[in-house]
Amino acid sequence: MGEGAAERDAGWGSRAGGYGARRQVPAGIEDCMPMHLPKFSLSTASNIFHDPLDARTGCIVLLYGQNEFREEATDTLDYVVNQSDFTIQTLRNVTDYLSFAMTINVAALYLPSDVQAQINNLKVDLNKAADTISLKTTESYKRIRKVLHNVSVALICIAVLMPVLAFLGYVLELYGPRYTVYTFATICWNIVAALFILIGILLIVSSASKDTCQAMDEWAEHPRAETALSNILPCVDASTTNRTLYQSKQVVVQLVKLVNRAISALSNRKERHLHPGQLMPYLCSPYDDNLNDRQCLSKEVTFDNATTAWQDYTCNAPDADACSGPSTVTPEIYSQLVTAANVSYALHHYAPPMLNFQDCKFVRDTFSSIASQYCPPLERDLSLVSAGLALLASGLVLGLLLMLFADRPRKREEVSEQTSGFRVAPVDCSP
């Protein structure tokens, strides 16, 4: 009895050693287990869903980096557009005031015909310059905004795709057939390759961004006639700028002469005034006949106080002959004088900004500001986006490696079961 038991134990031990020291589960026992309990293996615990630290960190860094990059790029683009709008508005204002100056009349006195002809020719060039800046800036704005939108959407989709892939891999490891796991792993390897390609593209974009910022800085110091940067913010033609400055000063001088001629003819006639103190003050011209700056005389009024000073010389009579004393200007003439003075002031006010258009100074200032204030944050945000993609790619690679290596024990178990010659009769699990 004891010898038989010892032989059975020795035989059982030899089989166990032959089968890798693993006790076989009798056939039919697995059929008695509840069907809703999944098979749990080591690969489930080492799934990318259970070890997603790199992926989670990568998603956070990627989302944060793309949001910061989009905001900084939008701010930079808006700054360029604002500079362009300011330039266009300045050109439009000068054009409008020059056009309005052609219609001014004070006591039936108008600008000389040759001056009006010069204004008409200049208006064509000013409108052309404004349209060119507006067209190129608008095209660049739309093109860059479209690229920024597409990049932002792509990066957000990548950040959202990673958790979905992790969860899908977890589900396939638990419930999916073997071939679905391999198919999923193949797809993930392709995604990893695409991520590394995208990282390379971003590195190229980052390098191009640095080169562009450096080119802007160099162009601001040494401007050239026509470059690729001209499509972003074009310069105003130098000859048009010089003609506009000259024409604006000339119109101001002519309008001041027109106003003073009307004052002399209507108000300051000798028979109307017995005392010099009753003379209506003349308007001061900021330029002399050679269009150089000049100082106002003590008896002249400037553009700032002309309206108030002339009001004291206005009478309520409809006819100037009915006015007496120092009030020698009718309300109609007073209104014409004020209009001419206001247009002269506007042209004098908008002429100095035209100096910034000479030698592309406003473009140089814009590019210099972009290179110093906007480029460093853009480069930093691009680095964050690249780091986020690198973390996602490395996390996905790690998860795939863990999935493949952790699945090897299951293969050994199945091979052992298939090669085992030991079988136990099925167990009836019916009640």
More confident residue, 373 or 51: 373
Quickly tell me which residue has 């009895």 as its tokens: 1
Q: Which two tokens stand for residue 43?
A: 């690969």
Which residue, among 250, 247, 252, has the nearest Cα to 290 in the 3D structure? Answer: 250
- Average pLDDT score over residue span 355-365: 79
Is 109 strand, coil or helix? strand
Burial class (CB within 10 angstroms; exposed 0-12, middle 13-18, buried 19+) of 319: exposed
Q: For residue range 102-135, what is the model confidence (pLDDT) as tens digits? A: 999 988 889 999 999 999 999 999 999 899 889 9
Average pLDDT, the chain: 77
Query: 211 or 39: whose pLDDT is higher?
Result: 211
Residue spans of the domains in the chain: they are 42-406
pLDDT tens for each residue of 147-190: 889 988 988 988 888 888 878 877 877 777 878 878 888 888 88
Higher-confidence position of 137 and 33: 137
Contact present, 166 and 399 (Cβ < 8 Å)? yes
pLDDT of residue 229: 66
Per mean pLDDT, which of 6-20, 276-290, 312-326 is the most reliable? Answer: 276-290
How far are the Cα atoms of 24, 98, 137, 208, 236 from residue 81, in angstroms, in the given order?
77, 26, 7, 22, 15
